[in-house]
Homo-oligomer: A and B are copies of this chain.
Amino acid sequence: MYVLRFVTRNKHKLEEVRALVRSIAPEFDVEMLPVEKVEIQAESLEEIARFAADWLLARGYRNFFLEDAGLFIEALGGFPGPFSSYVYKKLGCRGILKLMSGVTNRRAYFKSVVALEFGGRIYLFTGIVRGTIAYEERGSHGFGFDPIFIPEGEIRTFAEMSTEEKNRYSHRARAVRAMIEFLRSRLTRRV
């Protein structure tokens, strides 16, 4: 059993990632590493994730990963992007719907960047899911902007799906899968 330590204080994220990891890689498990993460203000999730990981690395932390995600709405120039959790807290889904009222271009994507410490170095993995912004909130699963995001090829929002279904599509699942594949290849090589 290889235990990955996830730097987060968001229990929803922890549960989502843990369910995913257990389903695709039974030899791995995930626990919470509840330390403070330094999040910089930047337009790129990669920059934010790398800074936070380097910060922990420089303070002696090892064997951890962290994740940053955002919803990028085309008609709003990528807003709320890396500031999604702040904007969600302040404006909610309703604020986004208000900003999008009268806007016909509904294209958006969710992006996730995972930063992993492995052997004293930081590795980044990304995942993207494209879709559209709904015209109203629907569903009660998930968290954040899930009730207004409809992934490509679906008619339901993320919040209308179970965690398992969401993990088939989601940006976060894609980034985490890439990390797991990387770890499997490295750990196998070691043996």
Report A's interface with B, CB cutoff 8 A.
Answer: 38-41, 43, 51, 76-79, 81-83, 86-87, 89-91, 95, 98-99, 101
Contact = CB atoms under 8 A, between A and B. Distances in A.
A39 B81 CA distance: 16
Main SS at interface, chain A = mixed
Q: Which of A39, A43, A86, A89 has the most CB of B within 10 A?
A: A86
A98 B95 CA distance: 10
A40 B40 CA distance: 4
Q: In the complex this chain forms, how many copies of it are found? A: 2
A79 B92 CA distance: 11
A38 to B, nearest CB: 6
A95 B99 contact: yes
A39 to B, nearest CB: 4
A41 B78 CA distance: 17
Contacts of A76: 90-91, 95
Contacts of A43: 86
A53 to B, nearest CB: 15
A62 to B, nearest CB: 23
Contacts of A40: 38-41
Nearest to A96: B99
